[in-house]
Amino acid sequence: MNEVPIRLEREAVVVMLHVQPGAKHSQWAGRHGDALKLRVSAPPVEGKANEALVRFLAQFCGVPRAAIEIVQGETSRAKRVRIATPDPQAVAARLATIASPALSD
């Protein structure tokens, strides 16, 4: 399996995600290739899935919603997301815990 798709920056973490909209519940689903897989309950219309993604990540990482930026893939399932935080190592470690091989598809 490849490295966890997380990159540390100065006061930020960049993570590759594969987002599956329209799920029953918003939850992590392990890995999808070189990305972390996240299921969101919102449908992929009018930016609702992206809003759900930002809400979920902000809560999971313990940062304000404004700290989450979709850098690439606004209209795609494959997304690169930047999470601004004063402690990027702690956020990266928290994200790395969900990449367990037991959860992978």
Mean pLDDT to the nearest integer, 48-73: 97
Mean pLDDT to the nearest integer, 60-89: 96
Domains of the chain, by residue range, sit at 6-103
69 neighbors 81 (Cβ within 8 angstroms): yes
pTM for the structure as a whole: 0.88
CATH classification code of 6-103: 3.30.1200.10
pLDDT digits (tens, 9 = 90+) for 85-103: 999 999 999 998 886 554 4
